[in-house]
Chains A and B, each alone.
Chain A
Amino acid sequence: MKPKFGVLLPMSYIKLKNKSNKKIALVDCNSFYVSCERLFNPKINFLPVVVLSNNDGCVISRSSEAKKIGIKMGEPYFKVKSLVKEYNVQVYSSNYALYGDISRRVMSVLKRFCPLIEIYSIDEAFLDLSLVKDDEVIDFISQLREIILKWTGIPVSIGVAKTKTLAKVANHLAKKEKVGIKSFILENDDSIDIVLKQFPIEDIWGVGRKISKLYKNNNIHTAYDLKNASNSWIKKNTNILGLKTVMELRDISCIELDSTGGAPRKNCCVSRSFGKKVKDFNTLKESIVSHCLNAAEKIRFDQQTVKSVTIFIRNSPFDQNEKFFSRSKKIDLPLATDDSILLTKVCVNALEEIFIQGPRYQKAGVIFSGLKSKLDREDSFFSYEQKEKSQNLMKAIDKTNYRFGRNMVTVADTGFSNNWRMRRGHSSKIDTSSYEFLPTVNIC
């Protein structure tokens, strides 16, 4: 059959129409944070390793050896301390400067070999491989995997299928294979169904805890069950995402690859746990102000303004000596702004309102919501002059901080003591993107 529009049809149009030939890969870095730590410290290559969240709270990355001895994802550190001792588990504080730089490297390698990429998280990316021939997919992804490992030192798993949801499933399988790759492209429906029959419903991409409960109550336990659920039942009982998931399991691509870099964010949250518990107002204020300034800098960088500010403070939910205490306050601003000084004032006022003496505070944070692009802001006539003045001041602050390091110029409320700052007792203190903190090789 002749194509309807002849050869003049733009490439992108052909691709959109030709859905049956769609090929999506999911590339996922194996135990990413652990792999980053191992890169400069091969001594821990075959030992169980875990990386802890901010402030050494919970386990957020585990080597396969650590998984084997029963350390669970997200478990609080104090709960696994005995396992750590018994099995000589290597423990690291999270070092996001390092992980961020390594992630950038992995993503840039992917982009070099496949320009149609959606960076999904710090350690995951979807690739559009539709232009790779069906019988060359395995070759392509195994070479890609080798190059990433050689160039960046990070082992990855790659799963390929016709839809994003199935690519996620394929990736799960790839993780279990020694070669680290799995493609559904040349497999027939029956052999994919065998996989789906063993795939638990709660592990499917986009199926949350709540909805998987609903599915299980209705005798849908595996991906295969969901694939064969009736359309009308799905429509009645779930939302549009539920339906999309089902379609995707049936090899019909519904969730497009977004290679534009994603929509601008609508919220910006900066919060940290304290290294030492905090009781007094002033220390709490210092931390809230510091978070507020960081958030303000972030939104200015993205050319955004904020309309609502929320601050929150709380003590530790694991503290057995005192009752859980958590308070927050949301302030709607009369005008959207990006002015650090104004925002700081708002935050401090709010803190004064919700603070009470007594609890041993463990965490404080600031959330900016209702973020809008500066370009489509409805300008207020009356405050124009004041705004321009503050714009120039903010620009000067950001420029200085960019050149001389964060918080070189700041408001006095952040204080100088900073003894609430994060606890990072096990940090590798390596930053491959900073001349000061380069990894060191000892050649004595």
Chain B
Amino acid sequence: MKINEKLPIILQKVCAGFPSPATDYLEDEINLNEELISNKASTFLIRVSGHSMVQENIYDGDVLIVDRSLNIQNRSVAVLNYQGQLVVKKILKRNNSFFLISNLGDQSNFIEITEDNETEVWGIVTYVIHKVKK
């Protein structure tokens, strides 16, 4: 102990102020790609135009993170190919069948997702990127 105390001051690194406890963790940056995308090959970003999904917190101009490798579940929000048109809809499961909910005015229509209906799931929406406007 005594020897240490006699160490010339010049050999000790002295920093003014409290040393940052974060220096050990400098490399740990958040990587949003890794956090938000679990399957890179099957995940696409798709921009939305229109207001029909506001009740699901999807607004005009938002960007959806869509993973094609996932399967639909009850209450999924999905991108679907509905009669040749890509659409974004909420899905409900009733009696082992899946239905998309289409809002027309105040009325909600349930359309079954089957081949005869030309409804095909394109991908499952996992996150919504929404820019908060000032």
Q: Which residues of A contact B (CB under 8 A)?
A: 40-43, 45, 105-106, 108-109, 112, 150-153, 432, 435, 438-444
Name the one of B42, B81, B88, B122 contacting A443, with C-beta atoms under 8 angstroms: B88
CB proximity of A73 to chain B, nearest CB, Å: 27
User: B45 touches which one: A43, A45, A108, A435 (CB < 8 A)?
Assistant: A435
Interface status of B50 (Cβ within 8 A of chain A): yes
Chain B nearest CB, measured from A334 CB (Å):
46
Q: Is the CB of B68 within 8 A of A441?
A: no
| 14 pairs, CB–CB < 8 Å, chain A vs chain B | A105-B41, A150-B42, A150-B69, A152-B42, A439-B46, A439-B47, A441-B49, A442-B49, A442-B86, A443-B48, A443-B53, A443-B58, A444-B50, A444-B52
User: B79-94: which have CB < 8 Å to A?
Assistant: 79, 81, 84-88
- Which chain A residues border B44 with CB–CB below 8 Å? 432, 439
CA distance A443 to B125 in the complex (A): 14
| A-B CB contacts (within 8 Å), total count | 74
Whether A438 lies near B45 (C-beta < 8 A) is: yes
Chain B CB within 10 Å, residue with most, of A41, A439, A440, A441: A441
Hey, what's the 0/1 contact readout for B38-65 against A, CB within 8 Å counting as 1? 0111101111111111000010000110
Bound CA span A359–B87, Å: 51
CA distance A329 to B116 in the complex (A): 62
* A42 touching B86, Cβ below 8 Å: yes
Total B residues in contact with A, Cβ cutoff 8 Å: 28
Is the Cβ of A440 less than 8 Å from the Cβ of B45?
Answer: no
Instruction: Determine the residue in chain B with the shortest Cβ distance to A438.
Output: B47
The interface residues of chain A lying within 8 Å CB-to-CB of B84 are: 42-43, 45
Distance from B65 Cβ to chain A, minimum over Cβ atoms (Å): 11
CA distance A109 to B41 in the complex (A): 7
Q: Which residue of A lies closest to B58 (CB)?
A: A443
Q: Are A153 and B68 in contact (CB under 8 A)?
A: yes
Cross-chain contact of A151 among B41, B47, B79, B87 (Cβ < 8 A): B41
Which of A112, A150, A440 is within 8 Å of B68, CB to CB? A150
Interface of chain B, helix or strand or loop or mixed?
Answer: strand
B interface with A by C-beta (< 8 Å):
39-42, 44-53, 58, 63-64, 68-69, 79, 81, 84-88, 120, 122
**B50 adjacent to A442 (CB under 8 Å):** yes
Known interface pairs A105-B41, A152-B41, A438-B47; A42-B85 also in contact (CB < 8 Å): yes
Measured in the bound complex, the distance between the Cα atoms of B79 and A440 in whole Å is 11
- Find the B residue at minimum CB distance from A434: B45
Q: Are A151 and B50 in contact (CB under 8 A)?
A: no
B87 proximity list for chain A (CB < 8 A): 441, 443
Cβ contact within 8 Å between A151 and B69? yes
Determine if B88 and A440 form an interchain contact, defined as CB atoms under 8 angstroms apart: no
Cα–Cα, bound, A109→B85 (Å): 27
Taking a contact as CB atoms under 8 Å apart, the answer to whether B63 and A443 are in contact is no
In the complex, how many angstroms separate the beta carbon of A326 from the nearest chain B beta carbon?
Answer: 43
Chain B neighbourhood of A43, CB < 8 A: 84-85
A193 to B41, CA, bound (A): 39
Within the complex, the shortest CB–CB distance from A109 to chain B, in Å, comes to 5
In the complex, chain B residues whose CB is within 8 Å of the CB of A45: 84
- B45: chain A residues at CB < 8 Å are 432, 435, 438
* A444 near B69: Cβ-Cβ < 8 Å: no
Residues of chain B contacted by A106 (CB below 8 angstroms): 41
Kindly list chain A residues whose C-beta atoms are within 8 Å of the C-beta of B88: 441, 443
The residues of A that contact B81 with a CB separation of less than 8 Å are: 42
Complex: how many Å from CA A432 to CA B120?
A: 21
Q: Which residue of A is nearest B84, CB measured?
A: A43
Instruction: Give Cα distance in the complex from A444 to B79, angstroms.
Output: 14
Which A residues touch B69, using CB under 8 A? 150-151
Tell me the bound Cα distance from A112 to B39 in angstroms: 11
Whole-angstrom distance between the alpha carbons of A146 and B87 in the complex?
A: 23
Give the nearest-CB partner of B71 in chain A.
Answer: A150
Which 6 pairs from chain A and chain B are nearest by CB? A151-B42, A444-B50, A443-B50, A43-B84, A42-B81, A105-B41
**Chain B residues near A112 (CB, 8 Å)?**
41
User: What residues on A are CB-neighbors of B68 within 8 Å?
Assistant: 150-153
Q: How far is the CA of A151 from the CA of B52 in the complex (A)?
A: 27
Residues of B within 8 A of A105 (CB): 40-42
Q: Which residue of A lies closest to B60 (CB)?
A: A443
Q: How far is the CA of A247 from the CA of B101 in the complex (A)?
A: 60
Q: How far is the CA of A444 from the CA of B69 in the complex (A)?
A: 26
Docked complex Cα distance between A438 and B44 (Å): 9
Residues of B within 8 Å of A435, CB to CB, are: 45, 63
B42, A438: Cβ atoms closer than 8 Å: no
Given contacts A153-B122, A443-B48, 11 further A-B contacts (CB under 8 A): A40-B86, A42-B84, A42-B86, A42-B120, A105-B41, A112-B41, A150-B69, A151-B42, A152-B68, A439-B47, A444-B52
CB-defined contacts of A441 to chain B, threshold 8 Å = 46-49, 64, 79, 86-88
Q: How far is the CB of B52 from chain A (nearest CB, A)?
A: 5
Please name the residue on chain A nearest to B63 by beta carbon. A438
A439, B63: Cα distance in complex, Å:
10
Question: Is B41's CB under 8 angstroms from A443's CB?
Answer: no
Smallest CB separation, B121 vs chain A (Å): 10
Q: Knowing A108-B41, A151-B39, say if A443 contacts B52 (CB, 8 Å).
A: yes
Residue of B nearest to A105 (CB): B41
